[in-house]
Chain A
Amino acid sequence: MARVLVIVPFPMDAGNLERRKAQLRSVKLGEGIDFEFRPVRIAPANYVSQQDAVLADIGILEAGIAAEAEGFDAVCIDTVSDSGMSALRSVLSIPVIGAGRHAMLAALMLGERFSILAMWDRWRHLYTKTLAELGFAHKCASLRSAGLQPNNQNLLGGKEDEFFPALHQAALRCIEEDGADVIILGSTTMHEAHAYLAERLPVPIINPGPLTYRLADAAIKLRLSHSRLAYPAPHAPALARLRAMGAAAAAV
């Protein structure tokens, strides 16, 4: 049985972790593959600034740095920000799948231009970073938000009647006004709206978390991992230092 570590980018209780794990049910998974969800110990309150980006990188690196030694065959990062992805790739040889980078590249397999549909505008920096890294800003029809305050713990729970139609309206504008062929949900925290939107939109809509579960399966079975030339290894992985940071964060 192949084992995949899914790193959840916020500390959370078991109930809220179940809302994240629910993403597994929206996809037909590959054979012989098992997913273990692990919340980070170090995290910002949310992902709206460069301070938050640094804390997110460190938290996700700390959560996954020993994944290979723990016997995992791949790592999925449960955030479209791809926080920690590059850092983890530099220390791990197993595949590390970041939801954002992979969602954008998969979108280009399904269309010529994609839009990213976010809850609110304060997530824009997450997408412009990956678009710049990929050099694919010209493939992005738009970054649009529905102007809604997200909640990274209980996700969209209890707000479906207000949030789902607002997301639908914003998605339609991506297609009709901005010329998107494909929509990408701007956060894995939006997965509860995916089925609602997929039924109502005339274009494919990518659910980034579940996409990573299939791509992890493909990576394991094709024995295809990231390039060491693109992600060189550190001279001295700071395992002990990061573990101490994890313990310190839990106490703050």
Chain B
Amino acid sequence: MPRILMIATGAATGTSFPVDSDTMVALRSVSGLPDCCDNAHDWALADLAVLAAGQGAEAEGFDAVCLADFGDYGAGALRSVLGVPVVTAGRSAMLHALTLGSRFAVLAPAPAARRVKKLVQEYGFSGQCAAVRAFDAGGEALAAARVCIDEDGADVLCLASQDVALAARLAAELPVPVIDPLPLALKLAESFLGLGLSQSRRAWPEPQLRKPELIAALVAAGERA
């Protein structure tokens, strides 16, 4: 029975995922997160918080970890300390978008857009990303999505939020596929487990000396401050 740990940064929504009946999904909210995440200071703290939340996943008996936040906070760090697959919402959604079309756009809540632009650059997806567009509220998301398609030339959309209802509404209204990263991450985790695949040690080497106690203590101390 595959056990998947889903690490969510916001309030984790939705409990009904399209996974196999023998797949168990445990949702875990991250503590110690900054409250905005549109700047490098917040990103550093988010990396640490997600690392602390997931670093024990393998010892806890999980077969895979999914990071639900499109910002992929802590992704590289977790991949360096875990042997089980770590599937990250942002990277996976953008790559999966390219299985469905040739150019994708990312729709992000306004505070998250800067982080998404950074990831697009770092991952080397600038040539495939038609636009990263921010929105403030549900109604604006639809308008922004139409600009991505009609003006930016996107043929697939990725939604950089954990709002399942918004993803469904956009998918119903728009003429292109809309990727809801959270269920996709779970299906990819199941796929990698079914195929016996995990991330490459060459890309994410192990630390020479692991510091799990320090990492946990840092987050706990920050929470008490």
Contacts and interface: CB of A to CB of B under 8 A. Distances in A.
A180 B202 contact: yes
Contact of B156 (A28, A110, A230): A230
Interface stretch (A13-21, A60-68, A117-125, A200-208): A200-208
Contact of A110 (B18, B177, B200): B200
A211 B87 CA distance: 16
Interface string A223-243: 111111111000000000000
A252 interface: no
A120 to B, nearest CB: 26
Nearest to B127: A135
Nearest to B195: A27
Contacts of B196: 198
A29 B190 CA distance: 10
Interface residues of A, number: 50
A192 interface: no
A129 interface: no
Given A214-B194, A227-B100, A111 B175 contact: no
Contacts of B200: 110-111, 181-182, 203-204
A25 interface: no
B71 to A, nearest CB: 16
Contacts of B201: 202-203
Contacts of B133: none
B155 A224 contact: no
Contact of B128 (A102, A135, A181, A224): A135
Nearest to B123: A108
B100 A225 contact: yes
Task: Identify which of B175, B176, B202 gathers the most chain A CB atoms within 10 Å of its CB.
Answer: B202
B39 to A, nearest CB: 26
Interface stretch (B41-49, B108-116, B137-145, B179-187): B179-187
A133 to B, nearest CB: 8
A214 B191 contact: yes
A135 B149 CA distance: 20
A31 B187 contact: no
Contacts of B101: 226-227, 229-231
Counting chain B residues whose Cβ lies within 8 A of the other chain, the interface size class is 35 or more
A204 B91 CA distance: 18
Given A222-B184, A230-B102, A111 B202 contact: yes
Interface string B198-216: 1111110000000000000
B189 to A, nearest CB: 10
Contacts of B18: 221-222
B95 interface: yes
A34 to B, nearest CB: 15
A175 interface: yes
Contacts of A179: 202
B156 A218 contact: no
A11 interface: no
A28 B100 contact: no
B155 A230 contact: yes
B188 A229 contact: no
21 contacts: A28-B194, A97-B99, A105-B95, A105-B99, A110-B199, A110-B200, A111-B200, A113-B203, A135-B127, A181-B202, A202-B202, A207-B195, A218-B184, A218-B187, A218-B190, A221-B187, A222-B187, A225-B177, A226-B177, A227-B176, A228-B176
Interface of A: 27-31, 97, 101-102, 105-106, 108-113, 133-136, 138-139, 175, 179-182, 198, 202-204, 206-207, 210-211, 214-215, 217-218, 221-231
Closest 9 CB pairs of A and B: A230-B101, A227-B101, A214-B191, A111-B200, A218-B187, A181-B200, A28-B194, A229-B155, A181-B203
Interface of B: 18, 20-21, 85, 87, 91-92, 95-96, 98-103, 124, 127-128, 149, 155-156, 171, 175-177, 179-180, 183-184, 187-188, 190-203
